Amino acid sequence: MTNPLDVSDAAMKALDLLSASKAGANDGIVSVCSAKFGKTIRDDFPWNHLDEINLLFGIKGTFAPDPVAAYRQHANRLKLQGL
């Protein structure tokens, strides 16, 4: 569970359990293996898929990093590399 106020956590956990038997570790929808493109810097964020895309009003885990800030940091890293 990422946040007690996030009603989608239970559904995402159920999807995680269903798909983990077929595709391995996942965020509730996308397998970890399918989500990697190029060099992986980090893949251990404590988010489910809906947290990652900031879908439910920005609700995320209490101590989890802000997904928007993480994506901005990554975009800036790519920009500085000229990509």
- In angstroms, how far is CA 9 from the centroid of its own chain? 12
Among all chains, which residue has been given the structure tokens 């989500």?
35
Q: Which domain holds residue 37?
A: 9-80
* Measured distance CA(20)–CA(80) in Å, rounded: 36
β-partners of residue 22 are: none
The 10s digit of each residue's pLDDT in 54-65 is: 777 777 777 888
CA distance 2 to 5: 9
Q: Residue 27 domain-assigned?
A: yes
Domain-located, residue 19: yes
Structural domains of the chain, count? 1
**Catalytic annotation, residues:** 66
**Residue 76, in any domain of the structure:** yes
pLDDT at 8 over 70: yes
Half-sphere exposure of 62 (CA within 13 A, CB side): 4
pLDDT of 13-52, one tens digit each?
777 777 666 667 776 777 777 777 788 888 778 777 777 7
